[in-house]
Amino acid sequence: MSEPRVLTFSEDRGAAVAAIDGVGEGRGWCNVAPVVEEEVADMKVNYFGLRLNKGVTVASFVTAAPRRGIAQPSTLGVLHSRSRLGKDRIAAMLSGAPFVTKQDHNTRGLLLEVPVATTSSEVLTVMCSLTEALCDYDFTGRWTLSQFLT
């Protein structure tokens, strides 16, 4: 694995959508975090799956390689500090995106299954809306995307 490619974006999301396209079919993952006014580290988890610190909400989109030539769904995880969100609140934040909730956990956050036919643009829109809605700090209107290729 190489060093991540990092970019910052706001309204012009073309490069961010292209970065998500670049990790398709199991070629890597992308993390999106809101840029905030304060100097705050991104939220992290330890080996046991427990939050280590308070921090900025992070969404991670991970793709899966095809199995026997058949495309597989991807996952979108969101590490946040709000505890369980509940299905009604999650549905409202997804704004109609057809993602399936796989986990809504007190300490490990939210895990969604992303259907195979979902566009990178829709994935990015959901990542941005979730991280903005769950951000505990003063949001600047920009996000940072880190692309990790395997």
Summarize pLDDT for 81-104 with one digit per residue, the tens. 887 888 999 999 999 999 999 999
Alpha helix positions (H), the chain: 14-21, 87-94, 120-133
Q: pLDDT tens for residues 12-48?
A: 999 999 999 999 999 999 999 999 987 776 655 554 4
Residue written as token pair 């990092």: 6
Query: What's this model's pTM, rounded to 2 decimal places?
Result: 0.88
In whole angstroms, what is the distance from residue 126 CA to residue 128 CA? Answer: 5
How high is the pLDDT of residue 108?
A: 76
Q: Where are the alpha helices (DSSP H) in 25-119?
A: 87-94
pLDDT digits (tens, 9 = 90+) for 98-115: 999 999 987 778 999 999
Token pair for 98: 């057809």
Q: Which of 61, 54, 56 is nearest to 34 (CA)?
A: 56
Q: Are 90 and 80 in contact (CB under 8 A)?
A: no
- Measured CA to CA, the distance from residue 66 to residue 69 in angstroms comes to 5
